[in-house]
A and B are shown apart, each in its own frame.
Chain A
Amino acid sequence: MDIKKQFKEGLVTQNPVLVQLLGMCSTMAITTVFFNGVGMGISVLIILTCSNIVISALRKVIPDSIRIACFVVVIATFVTIVDLMLQAFIPALADSLGVFIPLIVVNCIILGRAEAFCYKNGVAASAADGVFQGIGYTWVLVVMCLVREFLGNGTILGGLSFLNDGQGIRILPEGVGALGISLPVGGFLVLACLIAFMQWVLSRDKGKKTEEVAK
């Protein structure tokens, strides 16, 4: 497996949020404050990598007809472990992410990668896939958080307890932010703009390549 290709796929061309459009629920719900986005992204990254490794290791043992049930058992285990860890070490983050941590069990990204990649590929490739797809998810969440927090609340880097008591750095004066951007409708708008930008970049690259080929 070509690790460079995997890297590019995870972050850009097969980005789980912007291209595969998986895991929309958590993307809309938690990308309001910077720290939430980072926390959620890293949680998914850890769970995705661990479950990818275990599922690809077990792929010869798991019978075809009950594979989905087996995937869910593996994923649920790691989600529970991460949930317990967050509650033990970062209770503030566990509170603000709330039910979206347990909901990672049914997050399409992880089940989707298990079905589409790990069930067909080796352990090392699956681990790399988990890391890159996880980073792809995380960077989109972080960008959405930055945009939504800035436009909706007028601050950046909110939720970090050591920074201004979790209030973030205020850029716009209080009351100027558009509340709608913090609500789910704003999430859809920001995501749509990101996807449009992504498609524009991808099609431009494609256009360049075809021109080169033509030359």
Chain B
Amino acid sequence: MSDMNLVLFGLLVMGGLGLLFGAVLAFAARVFAVEVDPREEAIIGCLPGANCGGCGFPGCAGYAAAVVKGEAPVNRCAAGGGPVADQIAEIMGVSADAAVRMVAQVHCTGCGVDHQKYQYIGVEDCVAAARLPGGGPLGCDYGCLGMGSCEKVCPFDAIHVHSGVAKVDEDKCKACNQCVDICPRHIIALEPYKTKKHVTIPCSSHDKGPAVTKVCSNGCIGCALCAKSCPKEAITMVNNLAVIDYDKCVGCGICAQKCPRKLITVDGKVPEPKPAAPKAAPTAEAKTQE
């Protein structure tokens, strides 16, 4: 009986204390309430919550705070993509039409994989291989080592090594920057991705023409034909390498036609020289007229 009394008394005391201090806390929470911008919580609500850090802020909450403060654009969430950007834009009352999807691109075709400086037997890891004398076994000092460090680090299974060179699966890529950061050759970069007429120059070599032809069958030789032919002046030569300014590129593909190395691709393919040539010109005009 006394045991029972103890239990009941204990329950009564704990319950009473809980009730009393609960009331005190409810009062304190009211008195010391901090006003949080309701938009911040709304934004956290529509973010994926993966805390991947792809936006460059510490987690989803950090990004939401930055958006509300106006320090970050609404379309930074890489994992959420367009739909999330639209939702955030609606909360912030701005338009999200500036939302451009970014996709990682490997700037190497892997056409130099047959030109090896020496035979590499060791850890299958680009970061390790790149520390060796000569920056790894590959003949080209700039190309993809093809040992899949990016493949291992990709959280979305969006980059894979095929026949010695990494290729990005554009549909799966969330532009989280992980492969860009790990690549010891720094040949992966985020590019604005257009679903149609996406032009890329998949080469990173800053060597001069003769040096490139020795180690690669289609690397950029720095001839500047693409830069001269571009109607929008979107291509510039940077230290013997053609680089596209995606703000200017309209995807006409003239550069791809002119490239003597058949290096430049449109939508991932090198256009056929003869049948595509008359097609490309009118589309470019149509684009400019729009």
Contact = CB atoms under 8 A, between A and B. Distances in A.
A70 B6 contact: no
A63 B10 contact: yes
A74 B21 contact: yes
Contacts of A179: none
Given A65-B6, A87-B34, A88-B32, A81 B24 contact: yes
A58 B14 CA distance: 12
Interface string B7-41: 00110011001100100110011001110000000
Contacts of A77: 21, 24-25
A39 to B, nearest CB: 16
Contacts of A58: 17
A66 B12 CA distance: 11
A66 B25 contact: no
Contact of B29 (A61, A65, A84, A91): A84
Nearest to A84: B32
A173 B118 CA distance: 50
A63 B13 CA distance: 8
A74 B17 contact: yes
A176 interface: no
A124 interface: no
Nearest to B16: A61
Contact of A69 (B14, B24, B34): B14
Given A84-B28, A87-B34, A88-B33, A63 B9 contact: yes
Contacts of B17: 58, 70, 73-74
Contacts of A87: 32, 34
Contacts, number: 46
Given A63-B9, A88-B32, A88-B33, A80 B25 contact: yes
B10 A65 contact: yes
B10 A73 contact: no
B26 to A, nearest CB: 11
A85 interface: yes
A167 B177 CA distance: 34
B248 to A, nearest CB: 43
A29 interface: no
A73 B33 CA distance: 21
A66 B32 CA distance: 31
Contact of B6 (A63, A85, A88, A89): A63
Nearest to B35: A88
Interface string A91-105: 100000000000000
A73 B17 CA distance: 7
A183 to B, nearest CB: 21
Given A62-B13, A66-B10, A73 B28 contact: no
Interface in A52-76: 58, 61-63, 65-66, 69-70, 73-74, 76
Interface of A: 58, 61-63, 65-66, 69-70, 73-74, 76-77, 80-81, 84-85, 87-89, 91
List the 7 shortest-distance A-B pairs measured between CB atoms, nearest first.
Answer: A84-B32, A88-B32, A77-B21, A81-B28, A66-B10, A73-B17, A87-B34
Given A63-B13, A74-B17, A85-B32, 12 more contacts: A65-B10, A66-B14, A70-B13, A70-B14, A70-B17, A73-B17, A77-B24, A77-B25, A80-B25, A81-B25, A84-B32, A88-B33
Interface of B: 6, 9-10, 13-14, 17-18, 21, 24-25, 28-29, 32-34
19 contacts: A61-B13, A62-B13, A65-B10, A66-B13, A66-B14, A69-B14, A70-B13, A70-B17, A73-B18, A74-B17, A76-B21, A81-B32, A84-B32, A84-B33, A87-B32, A87-B34, A88-B32, A88-B34, A89-B32
